[in-house]
Amino acid sequence: MYFELKQYGFFVHYCTPQETLIMLHLRSKLAAAVHILNEQERFELISYDRLLLHKANGFYKQLQHIPSFSPSVYPIEEWWWHLDQVIDGSLHIHLPIA
């Protein structure tokens, strides 16, 4: 999972519009494997998630240009797919204090 974590971090920092979906899929993969991340990796994941939340508006704008994108097919627990709700305040995200 180390490689996927580093990829996710890279995409959160430097994502192009075409890579936004790749980033979100990586985050889902990390969510499924969070139990095998060590403490440092979980801290790093939280840091990347904070940055994703900070940049949510820009990422959401990128997703709007992808005709096949439909966040409703992803569970609400995977909040990164529901940035529209994060932005409008209907979905509140509480990340652990790192």
Rounded to whole angstroms, what are the CA distances from 45 to 3, 4, 48, 89?
12, 10, 5, 22
pLDDT at 98 over 90: no
pLDDT digits (tens, 9 = 90+) for 6-24: 999 999 999 887 789 999 9
- Tell me what pLDDT residue 17 has: 77
Q: The pTM is what?
A: 0.90
pLDDT digits (tens, 9 = 90+) for 26-84: 999 999 999 999 999 999 999 999 999 999 999 999 888 887 788 788 999 999 999 99
